[in-house]
Amino acid sequence: MVDEGSSRIFAPLENPLGEGEVSIQDESEEDAADLKHATNVASPSAEVVERHRVTHYPYRSWCKQCVMGRGVGTPHTTSTSESSMPIVGMDYFYITKEGVKRRDELAKELSDEGEEAITKARAEGHVLQCLLVRCLQSKIVFAHVVPQKGDDEEHYCAKLAVADIEWLGHTKVIIKTDNERAIVALKHRVAKHLKEWKSMDSVQTESPAACESQSNGGIEVGIKIVRGLFRTLKLCFGSRLGKYISTTHALMPWLLQHTCTLLNATTRGPDGLTGWERIKGRKLNQLLL
């Protein structure tokens, strides 16, 4: 029998059948590891829920659409670019009924046929091809639904990217992509248009090394944050309408651009500023739906 306040504890028996002696050890000092405790989550009021539905930002665990759209996400670590010139990255991604997919993810999901399977899915209306443009300095992100990959005859895709870069107001810029042929052709067309813009002092292009063709981390981060909020907004909109919103719906191009506007106007960095405030010097003054 051991007193309740005693610091002695019993060591394991040497023999489970009772043979042998039981040893008692003294524990003069005791310590415990610090453990993380769950926070008490209170149910939000109806007013808080309605205000949250305007942007769905930041992520809230009590919001069904936030959990479905971004519940598996993890916070991104911040990084700074070593370049003294602003770097603007570009890449393609796709909108499917499951959400936003990168090119490699979609190719694996469809089949081993790769680009042929993606082209077929686009022709059947199951997939929308999109272009992402992200300034790695200001963290501003743009996204557009585009009719095709590469440089089209009317240079529509290039003009979209040029308009985005002009909006940023940079006089010097480096345009970075991976080594895929279609995006490289688009990059050179964008650079050509920007060089014709008199306010641009310097326009350079950049690609990763041949052995690192997919090395474009800043754009990967951009696609990931657009993916989460876009899916969340799409789910919420469909829930309030009481019907499924397909990828071919006319709302999709606007909703994609609206997602980027919300990210640019609400996401604050370590400096306490949003991307919109870094570029425009003021907060977004538009009324949100």
Q: Does the N-terminal peptide bond of residue 58 adopt cis geometry, omega within 30 degrees of 0?
A: yes
Two structure tokens written together for 240: 């309030």
Q: Going by DSSP bridges, is the β-strand pair 172-176/87-96 parallel, antiparallel, or unpaired?
A: parallel
List Cα–Cα distances, 135 to 61, 138, 146, 175, 278, in angstroms: 29, 6, 19, 9, 11
pTM (two decimals): 0.72
Question: Residue 205's closest CA among 178, 181, 170, 244?
Answer: 178
Token pair 């919420």 in the structure block, residue: 236
Closest among 134, 135, 133 to 144, alpha carbons compared: 133
- Quick one: which H or E segment has residue 208? none
Per-residue pLDDT of the chain (289 residues; tens, 9 = 90+): 445 544 444 455 455 555 555 555 555 566 676 666 555 556 788 998 999 999 998 888 889 999 888 875 444 444 444 678 999 999 999 888 777 877 777 766 666 556 677 777 766 667 888 999 999 999 999 999 998 888 888 999 999 999 999 999 998 999 999 888 999 999 999 999 998 876 688 999 998 766 554 557 788 899 999 999 999 999 999 999 999 888 888 899 999 999 999 999 999 988 889 999 999 999 998 888 7
How many C-beta atoms lie closer than 10 Å to residue 257's C-beta?
13
230: nearest Cα among 123, 47, 44, 73: 73
